[in-house]
Structure 1
């Protein structure tokens, strides 16, 4: 069984501990504690989605109303010394880390806990709609909960309203979050139709005013997650980040694709490097990390930290790999143990009864859409390919010919765990849930594989393409 992560020194970046301490001192002597200049820009700005202005539903509290009024016409934050100190402390915690991204559906507490088991030191919640959270929606409230082994936990919200953001920040602080993140990159229609997520990138100055109002009004550091723009013809990430550094953002997370691209194009790490170089605010780079050597390649970007999303869904042990600088290559037997570890976390979180099973099975079979994509990718074979195109974007056959594998020679359990069929995923999840030991689970899964894997392999290919486009 793969061991738990080893503590290792983080990568060295231009944001050293000394730099961060000096930066904090400069801020507290008046550099950023005074109002900061908004960077000028000649780029055109369009309006946010009609009917969803930043201050549509301000808080009823006098303090929050005052924040809305004060911030409505500016995009510059005046942070207190205590807020600046917290920002600097967060940067210390983030420096050189591989951060688990906020993942729709995948970012549930049991999965984050599994990633932390394998060395994830910085994790983030699934995006929460702030308006629904403040109305007491139980699903949104559940996203506030932090696992005991999540050392540094960021709570992500979607809002275009200062009052909502401030009140959500209070709930996040009360729940024990380390910081709050504003989602300005989500491309799904459910978010953008409301003027949320990547729709906020359409008007950078309105976004800056939103961020300034929230940053001033909460006790937690505020980060902002963005994409490079809404489309290839509307890439405005430099302008957005330039404005956000004066709006009080502790850091900006930049996903290296446009909202329109979703995951169809490789992340533009040269652009991320330029953003990190040309702006004072620390940048966290996000996109296309599947192996420790791809993570190493990204260190030259000058980013404070790096973020992994789909790569962690495929192999939650990527955090240990990056720390140790090697591919771990767990075999099928070891992976069954890891997947049962996830099941154990789900049983503890949702309950080991019929009701808990129903809740867990909203997530568990879905996870195998990603877990089944795991392949051993040794550096000596795949590094050159990764430099041509990120490995996460390359089609991987069930048997890797580069490693001399043939389908018929693979162990039957290995073939099952690599199978793309959703029917296979449902039965794998059921077998793992019902088994009382790793050995029992392996026996049940091997029997399933002997009986059904050939049929599942023949109908799983179409599903692979649909998942890849999601």
Structure 2
């Protein structure tokens, strides 16, 4: 029996969530993860200011396919009025949940006082969340980190503030901003947050298979698990997690034929949504992830970085993967 998860008035079919990842969780990749059973898809983070100023590149980031929902749209920014006004302006779009990013560690975001820098300003966190909750009818969630650095571990404090401000759930990445994605994620901080708040808590960090997901649920008591890097080149992780929850066993990894067909389908989706030039270039990193661990994968990645068209990509995969 697959357990479900409710965030506000949104009922998810399961507890496995695709994490928002800039440059990764675009529409083509989200569709593949949805087909594999992800309970919620999180979009790439979008600048509230960019929407306010109608930046032309933002419209494509806001696009949602009819097959995707439930989808979480993630905004980043540091000005309560701008975030709440933009949230109200876009609310009629077909996303189910609005998420506010308070975890991004990227220097240019942090320098602007956005992303994980907000964890240093609890009062501002309250103002952003409370104003946004009042501005929209859809559930508002927040993604945070363990803290900004080892001297400022305040995920519990921020989670309590987020709850008090009216958020419907909080996602906790068990690393500080200073750690970025290095070292081991601290699941104990996720447990502490879960014990401190009544809203759903979603754990994030170092879940790469069903066994790890099961361990995170047991050790932290969290309500959902968010999968980030574990999904890169591996949309099948969601069907694997569901199978493990159902049966306690892992399905076999996709064979070479399925791997190749998924990469080519992914490439066709990228081209359909981003055009030939950008579509193929976007696929280069995805192919590198898909083929990690395969025989001669380093050579293949080097060759992938020189492909300029779908035909070149297909021919390369046909020649390099047929012998596997």
Q: TM-score under structure 2 normalisation?
A: 0.90
Does the 8 Å CA contact 1:227/1:255 hold for their aligned counterparts?
A: yes
**What is the match of residue 338 of structure 1?**
262
Task: Note if contact 2:270-2:280 (Cα within 8 Å) is conserved in structure 1.
Answer: no
CA contact (8 A) 1:121 1:150 kept: no
- Asked whether 1:425 is paired with 2:297, we answer no
- Equivalences for 1:292-441 in 2 at 5 Å? 292-300=210-218, 301-325=220-244, 326-350=250-274, 356-373=275-292, 398=293, 414-416=294-296, 418-419=297-298, 422-427=301-306, 430=308, 433-434=310-311, 441=314
> Residues 116-131 of structure 1: matches in 2 within 5 Å?
116-131=34-49
Distance 2:223 2:57 in 1: 32
Deviation at 1:420, TM superposition (A): 6.8
Q: What is the rounded CA distance, in whole Å, between the counterparts of 1:197 and 1:419 in structure 2? A: 34
CA 1:328–1:172 in 2, change beyond 3 Å: closer, same or farther?
A: farther
Structure 2: 5+ residue stretches without partners = 245-249
Structure 2 residue 170 is the aligned partner of structure 1 residue 246: no
Aligned to 2:2: 10
Mapping 1:214-293, distance limit 5 Å: 214-293=132-211
Alignment of 1:106-117 (within 5 A): 106-117=24-35
Whichever of the two has the greater Rg, that structure is 1
How many angstroms apart in 1 are the aligned matches of 2:226 and 2:321? 35
Distance of 2:65 and 2:164 partners within structure 1 = 33
**CA deviation string 1:289-310 (max 9, x = no partner):** 1111111111212111110011
Distance 1:188 1:420, change over 3 A: farther
SS of the aligned residue for 2:295 comes to helix
Q: How far off is 1:422 after superposition?
A: 4.5
The secondary structure found in structure 2 opposite 1:181 is strand
Contact 1:179 1:222 in 2 (8 A): yes
Partners of 2:216 and 2:3 lie apart in 1 by 11
Query: How far apart in 2 are the matches of 1:284 and 1:127?
Result: 18
Partners of 2:65 and 2:118 lie apart in 1 by 30
Q: Secondary structure at the match of 1:106?
A: coil
Cα distance in 2, alignment partners of residues 280 and 117 from structure 1: 31
Q: Output one character per residue of 1:208-234: Cα deviation in whole Å (capped at 9) or x when no partner.
A: 122111111122211010001001111
Once the 2 structures are TM-superposed, how far is the Cα of residue 421 of structure 1 from its aligned partner?
6.4
Return the offset for 1:111.
0.7
SS of 2:112's partner is coil
Q: Distance in 2 between matches of 1:235 and 1:133?
A: 32
- Name the residue aligned to 1:445: 317
Note if contact 1:144-1:172 (Cα within 8 Å) is conserved in structure 2.
no
TM-score, with normalisation over the residues of structure 1? 0.63
Unaligned 5+ segments in structure 1 are 1-8, 21-86, 351-355, 374-397, 399-413, 451-470
Call closer, same or farther: CA 1:278–1:446 in 2, change over 3 Å.
same
CA distance in 1 between partners of 2:133 and 2:285 (Å)? 35
Most deviating of 254-263 and 267-276: 267-276
SS in 2 for 1:226: strand
Shift of the 165–420 alpha-carbon distance from structure 1 to 2, 3 Å rule, reads farther
2:101 to 175, 180, 183: 183
Computed over aligned residues only, the root mean square deviation of the Cα atoms, in angstroms, reads 2.4
Residue 61 (structure 1) aligns with: none
Spell out the pairing of 1:70-219 with structure 2 (5 A cutoff): 88-90=8-10, 92-93=11-12, 96-219=14-137
- How far residue 184 of structure 1 moved from its aligned partner, in angstroms, is 0.4
Contact 2:263–2:287 (CA<8 Å) still a contact in 1?
no
Report how many aligned residue pairs link the two structures: 318
1:108–1:125 contact (8 Å) kept in structure 2? yes
Q: Once the two structures are superposed, what CA deviation does each residue of 1:31-87 show, in whole Å capped at 9, x if it has no partner? A: xxxxxxxxxxxxxxxxxxxxxxxxxxxxxxxxxxxxxxxxxxxxxxxxxxxxxxxx6
Question: How much does 1:359 deviate?
Answer: 2.0
Q: Quick check: 1:372–1:420 contact (8 Å CA) kept in 2?
A: no
